[in-house]
Amino acid sequence: MPHPVLIDGQWLASSATNTFQAVNPATEETLPGEFPISPWSEVDQAIQAAADASKQMRGWPGSRFADFLEAYAEEIEARADALVAAAHAETALPVSPRLKDGELPRTTNQLRQAATAARTESWRCPTIDTATGIRSMFGAIGPVVVFGPNNFPFAFNGIAGGDFAAAIAAGNPVIAKGHSCHPETTRIFAEAAMAAIHRTDMPQALVQLIYRTSHEDGYKLVSDARIGASGYTGARHTGLRLKAAADAAGKPMYLELSSINPVFILGGALAERADAIADDFSGSCLMGTGQFCTSPGLVIVPAGESGDRFVAAVSERFQKAAVGTMLGEGVRSSFSSGIDTIQKAGATLVTGGQPGGGKGVSFNNTLLVVSGSRFLEAPEVFQTEAFGNGSLIVLSDGVQQMATIAESLEGNLTGCLYSDTQGSDDAAYADIEPALRTKVGRLLNDKMPTGVAVSAAMNHGGPYPSTGHPGFTAVGMPTAVSRFAMLQSYDNVRAARLPAVLQNASPGADVWRRVDGSWTTADVA
Amino acid sequence: MPHPVLIDGQWLASSATNTFQAVNPATEETLPGEFPISPWSEVDQAIQAAADASKQMRGWPGSRFADFLEAYAEEIEARADALVAAAHAETALPVSPRLKDGELPRTTNQLRQAATAARTESWRCPTIDTATGIRSMFGAIGPVVVFGPNNFPFAFNGIAGGDFAAAIAAGNPVIAKGHSCHPETTRIFAEAAMAAIHRTDMPQALVQLIYRTSHEDGYKLVSDARIGASGYTGARHTGLRLKAAADAAGKPMYLELSSINPVFILGGALAERADAIADDFSGSCLMGTGQFCTSPGLVIVPAGESGDRFVAAVSERFQKAAVGTMLGEGVRSSFSSGIDTIQKAGATLVTGGQPGGGKGVSFNNTLLVVSGSRFLEAPEVFQTEAFGNGSLIVLSDGVQQMATIAESLEGNLTGCLYSDTQGSDDAAYADIEPALRTKVGRLLNDKMPTGVAVSAAMNHGGPYPSTGHPGFTAVGMPTAVSRFAMLQSYDNVRAARLPAVLQNASPGADVWRRVDGSWTTADVA
């Protein structure tokens, strides 16, 4: 018997005829739990329950959703040991500091920041125009489907991560599509969510869980008339197919797809602190076995002696560093094929390039190098994403070529520029930055991109193919919340019928509203 | 020789082998000007020039774009007579008050509001998080393609309307795709734009004009790697095909498609002021020969004597009112076919239903009626858009059925509720409003939806099929501007390298920034 699915508050026996099991990447052993690939009837039941919950919650104050999110954070903390053990078995990510001390606190912090956004209504952007009497705010969009990725079993999990938190904060029920790599982790989250639903008296269908469906049912799900929007983090091909289905039905779908996170290291910086940068880069690139959306996969340095020395310094660190376990065979084989594509295009292997070297599913830390002129002959091919513990260094002939390389880049989540501290790189920075700025969501100085702070000013987003729309971020409150919202304008609506947040009286000392072009927490005169 | 196209500041002879001419809908005579259907080579030239202009303008302050928009508004005013004459000939819309006193001032007002948004940087949503040092703002997205509709030759024109103004305010060049119904009007705008470009020393390719392309070249245009985003207002089928092409390339495309703008008239309101509402409705529905995106095409009233009297009162007004000239034969035939579909589904014709009755291309003012229960048997069919001077009245059996009808609606730009002034409709309002609210972008009380104020709180948008994304508005600054922008985060970027709007010093007393969760115009400490 496979595990039941969570529909409308009940753990229901699945009528699935097909099931799947997760694999421990460290031991390569199949894990015991059997999980259902749900037929459409179960998906349909979940959609209907979510649509009903959505109706029931119309107009509820943000505090109700905040209460739930905070209770859920506590329920997660109460199950921390079980979650960490399950995620470690299913992903081979280290228990500490990664899962226990890093990703789990990040996840509960994210839920609590979403709660604050809900409580202060900051995502609503309440706008009042006293001259015309028109008022507007963002409101809930309807049931949200969240597809989480393989690489963050907590912080981006469809049932607990950033998209989930944002969708709930905006007042929507969530149908979580668990990732097939970590179903038991996801199941424990679902138990925690149900406990929080009971504690805060929320609709049973606020959070539902389907482990897996057929591709076709996935397309039906995101384009169903009862759905409000969807969020997806994962492989480009699957994401684009889902989005095409959603778009054809006019349903917003937010994607986070692929990013190689270019790092430009200018000549002065290399002369000043090459070893420190090599440390910084190697640590960032190999962190989590390179399985971060923000892992630096492309480094541009000046050709010549200093560039060659940098390649040697990184190569040495890659060889010395332990080889981590990858999330699964799928990740390893697509990493291997990415490395292969880049080599065939003319890059030289400096170190690595072979499977193995670590525990279980692994691949040696891999460094490739190519000249700037060769890169520019086929920039698309050299930007092939190799998701894992590897990177490509481009040896560039001068600042002008670096700027041309920046212009040739596809969209990325991040882009970094390292420059010296005495100003000798300032002219080069000014040449390269404008091009890089338009290609990336987050621009960094003198810092690797792997850390993604949960900040109101964070952009974990960027131009295609890093996401499907460069105006949105998946991390950072309240901006991430507003994605799962519809704009609602009130024209000539009688005062008593307006939502509290749009009435003349201030809805609270911490609620900011844009009144006649100025932001204020005061009453409207 | 067809008219030349405007590419990179030059009026270039088109190499088109095919041309088109506009038709005067009032006389049904072909107008003299011959306009090119540009081949891909011309479109490609325009894209490249726009991409170059986009690079050139990177980092320019909002004041430069504000200066251009304000100069353009003046250049338009200087050509008001020519514009009104051309638009009147091409659309048969009345010179006064519509074109001269309504739409033209609205258009220049919109350009000036966009200028203010650019000058105050209000669309950028500058956000500063002092704890993490991360800062973010919206920045230009790159060249924007704007496809204007047939029904607003000024206010939504691809070269002068709301999307145009918003795209420029965000710092982007625009490639305007003129509507084939009013090419001469569009040509005069292009001359005004060039004069403003010269006066304000902007890049020659800031504004370019292509009159028409093949469908295939349209898909190539919106999905070209050098394009930032597109805006489209028009027919659903064409818009969705363009958006599918843009989406597949990860290029944002904003659509405004179709809307029937439901109006619910509650029992108390009908008892209290049926005649006034019949006046209000007839005026709104027949205004501009019903060719407004916000024209009320569906009215729900209580069945019984009061509902029947309302139908009769409207019918009388429809018969008495002059029959206007439609924008063209295409509009008339699709209106006719919409009316036909609704009749075949079971609605009864009350008045109209036949072509003619007015000058040139016209169709008699048309009123249909259907019972609530019949409507609910095929709600999709009865929501067929009949764009023109007609409407469908639904006679509903009680409040519960009205609420069910509201739940059955597709997405719309607007939804109205008329209730009595003494409170007898309040319970019914509370039953119906929640469902209607989630189906429409703008909710109105006691007011018809045809007027669309240019207000920061306006939502001229709504759930599909009224638009392609319910989070965006096409009218209202600064919200409409932010659509043509990408989110740009700065992480650890050195202070002097930050854009002025993100530096510690306040960029201006009228520039609002979100600092650590609070909005302020002050310096950052």
pLDDT one-digit tens code per residue, B107-154: 999 999 999 999 999 999 999 999 999 999 999 999 999 999 999 999
Q: Would you call the peptide bond into B97 cis, given omega within 30 degrees of 0 as the criterion?
A: yes
Q: How far is B252 from chain A (nearest CA, A)?
A: 6
Among candidate residues B102, B32, B20, B118, the one with its CA nearest the CA of residue B69: B118
The total of other beta-carbon atoms located within 10 Å of residue A21's CB is 14
Q: Please, are residues B90 and B24 in contact by the beta-carbon 8 Å criterion? A: yes
Q: How does residue A1 score in pLDDT terms, banded at 50, 70 and 90?
A: confident
Q: What is the DSSP letter of A289?
A: G
Q: Would you call the peptide bond into B252 cis, given omega within 30 degrees of 0 as the criterion?
A: no
Q: How far is CA B511 from CA A309, A463, A519, B123, in A?
A: 47, 27, 10, 10
- For chain B, say whether A217 makes contact (Cβ under 8 Å): no
Q: How does residue B169 score in pLDDT terms, banded at 50, 70 and 90?
A: very high
- Find residues 475-514 of chain B whose CB sits inside 8 Å of chain A: 479, 482-483, 485-494, 497, 512, 514
Q: Which chain A residues have a beta carbon less than 8 Å from that of B469?
A: 250, 252
Q: Please, are residues A442 and A458 in contact by the beta-carbon 8 Å criterion? A: yes
Q: Mean pLDDT for chain B?
A: 97
Q: What is the DSSP letter of A445?
A: E
Q: Which of B90, B293, B410, B416 is catalytic?
A: B293
Domains of chain B and CATH, by start? 19-257+471-482 (3.40.605.10), 262-445 (3.40.309.10), 487-520 (no CATH)
DSSP A202-225: --GGGEEEE----HHHHHHHHH-T
Write out pLDDT tens, residues A264-273.
999 999 999 9
Residue from the list B129, B140, B142 with its beta carbon closest to the beta carbon of A457: B129
- Find residues 111-130 of chain B whose CB sits inside 8 Å of chain A: 120, 122, 127-129
Write out pLDDT tens, residues A98-150.
999 999 999 999 999 999 999 999 999 999 999 999 999 999 999 999 999 99
A487 → chain B, closest CA residue: B471
Q: How does residue B198 score in pLDDT terms, banded at 50, 70 and 90?
A: very high
Taking the model in full, what pTM does it have?
A: 0.97
Question: Does residue B293 carry a catalytic annotation?
Answer: yes
Mark yes or no for CB contact B473/A489 under 8 Å.
Answer: yes
User: Above 90 in pLDDT, residue B1?
Assistant: no
Q: How far is A187 from chain B (nearest CA, A)?
A: 32
Which site among B491, B504, B511 would you substitute to test the A interface, given the most A Cβ atoms closer than 10 Å to its Cβ? B491
Q: How far is A197 from chain B (nearest CA, A)?
A: 23
At A331, which amino acid appears? V
Residue from the list A139, A443, A461 with its beta carbon closest to the beta carbon of B493: A443
A486 → chain B, closest CA residue: B471
Report the distance separating Cα B442 and Cα B395, nearest Å.
24
Write out pLDDT tens, residues A311-362.
999 999 999 999 999 999 999 999 999 999 999 999 999 999 999 999 999 9
Report the distance separating Cα B515 and Cα B525, nearest Å.
10
Q: Could you give the angle at the alpha carbon of A50 between the alpha carbons of A177 and A208, nearest 5°?
A: 35
Q: Residue A6: its pLDDT value, please?
A: 98
Mark yes or no for CB contact A445/B493 under 8 Å.
Answer: yes
* 3-class SS of residue B111: helix
* 3-class SS of residue A331: helix
- ipTM for the whole predicted complex goes beyond 0.90: yes
Mark yes or no for CB contact B486/A479 under 8 Å.
Answer: no
Write out pLDDT tens, residues A170-189.
999 999 999 999 999 999 99
Which site among A266, A487, A497, A521 would you substitute to test the B interface, given the most B Cβ atoms closer than 10 Å to its Cβ? A487
B135 → chain A, closest CA residue: A457
- For chain A, say whether B143 makes contact (Cβ under 8 Å): no
The first and second tokens of residue B458, run together, are 């306006």
At B456, which amino acid appears? A
What are the φ/ψ torsions at residue B247 (nearest 5 degrees)? -60, -40
Q: Which of B75, B103, B121, B256 is catalytic?
A: B256
Mark yes or no for CB contact B486/A55 under 8 Å.
Answer: no
Residues of A with a catalytic annotation lie at 256, 293
- For chain B, say whether A248 makes contact (Cβ under 8 Å): yes
Q: Which chain B residues have a beta carbon less than 8 Å from that of A517?
A: 120, 122, 456
Q: How does residue B402 score in pLDDT terms, banded at 50, 70 and 90?
A: very high
Report the distance separating Cα B46 and Cα B210, nearest Å.
8
